[in-house]
Amino acid sequence: MTEETKHHEKKEDTKPVETPKHEVKHEIHESTKHEIHETKHEAHESKHETNVAKQENKAEEKATPPAKTPKSTPAKIQKKEAAIAKGHSMPVSKRQCMYISAFIKNKKIDLAISDLKEVIKFKKIVPFKGEIPHRKGKGMMSGRYPIKASALFIKLLKGLRGNALVNGLDLEKTRIVSSSSNWASRPMRGQGRKGKRTHVLIKAMEMKEE
């Protein structure tokens, strides 16, 4: 053999063997399938582990009793010395308010409300001074039945009772210590007459036991 033929044969022997394209694609496809299958298997195992951990946690929660949450304590009421109720520009005469104020003074709030309700029912009178006729009934004296003013005073006394409870006063020991009435700005009516307007201030205090 000549040197040229030997050299030509060597070149042919050194050429890389080319694999067909469809075999390469098949190998890639199988490798990706295998990787996907492995990732799915790992994800399935991780889900199984998490489910087992959740079941264990639930079992532990059932075994251990729930911790008792502390109950919220109600806010303490700051006790005050007195309770006040004000009536502004009440459409009643000052004279009636003065006599009703004297009628409810030194009484319990609930007793004063019940007495004024009896006045509205014509079963009790509010003592008035002056030339006023006596009323029929046992223990009746000269007086009147100020129905409108009594109804307005009942509203004030109910507000006073609510203020006393908010201020921490004991209603059984609380008494009406003062009730004052003063003229308010009165509107003018026909023929130069003025209307009836009165300011009222009622104060109640808790009396100390002797």
- How do residues 4-33 score in pLDDT, each as one tens digit? 444 445 444 444 444 454 554 455 556 666
CA distance from start to end of the chain: 146
Share of the chain above pLDDT 90, in %: 37
Cβ atoms of residues 145 and 59 within 8 Å: no
pLDDT in tens, 28-49: 556 666 666 666 666 666 666 6
pLDDT in tens, 153-163: 999 999 999 99
**Token duo for residue 118:** 């009896």
pLDDT in tens, 101-125: 999 999 999 999 999 999 999 888 8
**71 band by pLDDT with thresholds 50, 70 and 90:** low
Give SS3 for 86. strand
Query: Which residue reads 């059984």 in tokens?
Result: 172
Looking at residue 201, its pLDDT comes to 95
- Distance of alpha carbon 145 from alpha carbon 149, whole angstroms: 9
Select from 114, 122, 160 the least CA-distant residue to 143: 122
CATH number among 3.40.640.10, 3.40.720.10, 3.90.470.10, 3.40.50.1100, domain 82-187+194-206: 3.90.470.10
Beta-carbon contacts of residue 72 (< 8 Å; ≥ 6 apart): none
pTM above 0.85, yes or no: no
**Amino acid found at 159:** G
